[in-house]
Amino acid sequence: MNHLRKIFTPVLTLGLATIVTLLPTGSVEAQYGERPALVGSGDPAVDVSGRSIKNPRVRAIATTDTSLIGGTAWMFEQDPYLAFQLGRNLNFREFRTRDGVFHDGVSDLAGPMPDGATAKITAANQTSCAGCHNLPNGNPGGGPNFHKDSGFGRNTPHYYGAGIGEMLAIQIREEILLQVDLDNNGWISSLEAQTSPAEIEVPTGVGTKVRYGSPRLSAVATGTPQLNNVIRVWYVDADGVRVPGATQVDGVTTFGYNFEVVVWGWGQGEGRAALNPTNRAFTWDPLIAHSGLDAYDPASENDPDGDGVSEPTLAGAIQFPATHLPPDAGTTLDPLGFSRDDPDGDGYLNEISEGDLDLAEIYMLNIPRPAFRGTPDEFRRGVKLMEQLECATCHTPDWQIRPADTRFAGDRRFFDLDVQWNDQRGRLEGKVEPLYTRNGPAYERNLDAFEVKGFFSDLAHHEMGPDFAEIDFSGHVNSTWRTPPLWGLAHSAPYGHNGRSFTIEDAIRRHGGEALASRTLFENAPRPVRDQLLKFLSALSLYDIESLPTDVDGDGQIRSQHIVQGVDTGEERFNPEWLFRNPVEIQGMVTVNGRAIRSFAAVNLEEAYGLNLPYRIDSDLDGWPDVWDAAPLVPGYKDGVN
């Protein structure tokens, strides 16, 4: 992999605190979700809880050289929890006009649908990812229903455990190639398709297998493969290079195919898969669709052999430029290294940088998993009941991520938050499990195997029958949907692709098509059995990540007084800010209206959030780091100058 970034030595600058005093108040006041000020400062941007975004908007600089301090490669190696938190804050930031949001109006139509005319989505309708993914607040939850594909809308999913879902999807792709791609060149030729198994069965790693259709071509030597709808296919020439516009293997211009497993989206109809194949695409794609923010991302296009599959990103995930190209192609680069293309023509350049996407991706990769609010025995009994009622046929309970080798990437996360039910205290509690080895100041990811318990999905698409049928805007009828992972189900209401089921039981009773047998078993089961299943499903829980009582330091205890930077922060809990290279020091006890309270505002914001690092310094607070800013002391929100 060779991601080249044109990076220049940063100019010398004043410290952030000095710069703030030089700028007029109106230029530094934060948005609603960005509240870095201390209690008693008189600044309107105060949040005693510490839950709001503290860091100002500064484009991140993508690097592969770990010696470039403050670049994304340096952060991944030297301060991964800061990288995680910055990615989290990018997810929940409310972008403003000065950031280039909503380039050509609000709530306009975008598309098209397969008829080539009908628009499928209302675009430019959110200033933040948190506009839809926000329950509980400040977490990667779901909840809202938004206008897409159909007048009935789309139910927004949570994305707890998003990294695990992506790793499984990429692993499934590799498992299929392992069985069919006999010459190991990364694509499937016509001959390989002819000699492949009649149906692909992918091992979960825990003793079961999942079927994903047939890799064979419809006309033996030519045609299209008959793979599950979750797999999106493109066609390649004799050298494996993608042939744009090709619709089948024809033996003349196309001699095989390549593919991706689509991890995000409910489904868009037979032969149309879902939406995004990676977490990175799941970031930049909605940012342009819903917020009008163009992303320049060479990492998504880094495909030297032209087969439609990129080299791994800094976070370690391959991307799929065959189907997903970011909107800003970067055909014209500024001498300082950023794109001047401005595809939406609003004058705001590089609205989302490659470095921003590095941070968003590392956040998505490491988002903690949902939990089970019950004992291990209760979990095992629930899984057994799901197997008896054939729910587990599609809602595959467990998987294993393979360890890294020449083919598989291993568990690419930096940490796992292991959340278990404490029956004595009647609450969920966490433990931070490092998935890295410290080598001096460097964090080196272990890339080991990981058993994924309670995922409850095969990620495949299934025909779900008339009660899940939908007539889309253009009149197409679809009843083929992806199996949603059930973890977090209890806090994911409403249910179904369009959110039309208000209870778990109603969603089960809507199952038909391939799931009809399971629905029948449920409906014919005695009421106590049905209640037992519903009780189990209602314990598959989300939680507020940052307030979760957690053993953060690995001493086997959750202390009632967790001391960080010499200050009592209260009960030990999962707050990534306390795992930074320079942990956040909170303001601590203050008096407000005669009442003593603990303020979690940051006293050492500049040091903790790395705002004084060479590749993060933004002297004029215009969102352009000085290394990219031709006028680092003159605010210029559009391009660093204007």
Q: How confident is the model at residue 546 (pLDDT cuts 50, 70, 90)?
A: very high
Buried b (16+ CB within 10 A) or exposed e, 301-333: ebbeeebbbbebbbbbbbbbbbbbbbbbebeee
Number of domains in the chain: 2
Bridge partners of residue 473, in order along the sequence? none
What is the domain extent for residue 232?
Answer: 163-261
Q: Which residues lie closer than 8 Å to 197 by C-beta, 6 or more apart? A: 179, 180, 214, 215
The answer to the question of residue 513 being in a domain is yes
Res 377 pLDDT > 70: yes
Res 16 pLDDT > 70: no
Res 381 pLDDT > 80: yes
The answer to the question of residue 7 being in a domain is no
pLDDT one-digit tens code per residue, 582-597: 999 999 999 999 999 9
The answer to the question of residue 562 being in a domain is no
Please give the pLDDT value at position 32: 62
The answer to the question of residue 95 being in a domain is no
Res 5 pLDDT > 50: no
Once rounded to an integer, what is the mean pLDDT over residues 28-54? 87
Reduced 3-state DSSP string for 384-433: HHHHHCCHHHCCCCCEEECCCCCCCCCCCCCEEEEEEEECCCCEEEEEEE
Please give the pLDDT value at position 269: 85
Residues 255 and 393 grouped into a single domain:
no
Helices of type H across 197-328: 279-291, 298-301
Nearest of 161, 152, 160, 153 to residue 135 by alpha carbon? 160
How would you class 590 by CB atoms within 10 Å of its CB: exposed for 0-12, middle for 13-18, buried for 19 or more?
A: middle
Tokens 């993508």 belong to 62
The answer to the question of residue 590 being in a domain is no
> For residue 434, what is the enclosing H or E element?
strand 427-434
* Spatial distance between the Cα atoms of 282 and 56, rounded to a whole number of angstroms: 23
pLDDT one-digit tens code per residue, 179-233: 999 999 999 999 999 999 999 999 999 999 999 999 999 999 999 999 999 999 9
Nearest of 42, 173, 111 to residue 473 by alpha carbon? 111
The answer to the question of residue 434 being in a domain is yes
pLDDT one-digit tens code per residue, 174-187: 999 999 999 999 99
Instruction: Check if the beta carbon of residue 61 is closer than 8 Å to that of residue 615.
Output: yes
Final residue in a domain of this structure, among 521, 545, 569: 545
The answer to the question of residue 255 being in a domain is yes
Mean pLDDT of the chain: 94
Res 6 pLDDT > 70: no
Final residue in a domain of this structure, among 476, 511, 545: 545
pLDDT one-digit tens code per residue, 484-497: 999 999 999 999 99
Once rounded to an integer, what is the mean pLDDT over residues 453-470? 98
Residues 392 and 252 grouped into a single domain:
no
CATH of residue 448: 1.10.760
Q: Which tokens sit at 560?
A: 């009632």
User: Residue 446: how many CA atoms within 13 Å on its side-chain side?
Assistant: 15
Once rounded to an integer, what is the mean pLDDT over residues 289-300? 97
Residues 383 and 506 grouped into a single domain:
yes
| Long-range contacts, 504-508 (Cβ 8 Å, 24+) | 504/534, 504/537, 504/538, 505/530, 505/534
Once rounded to an integer, what is the mean pLDDT over residues 378-406? 98
The answer to the question of residue 123 being in a domain is no
Final residue in a domain of this structure, among 196, 231, 261: 261
Altogether, the residues listed in the chain come to a count of 642
Q: What is the pTM of this model?
A: 0.95
Res 611 pLDDT > 60: yes
Res 105 pLDDT > 90: no
**CA 112 → CA 115, 271, 292, 376, distances in Å?**
8, 16, 17, 48
DSSP label at 640? S
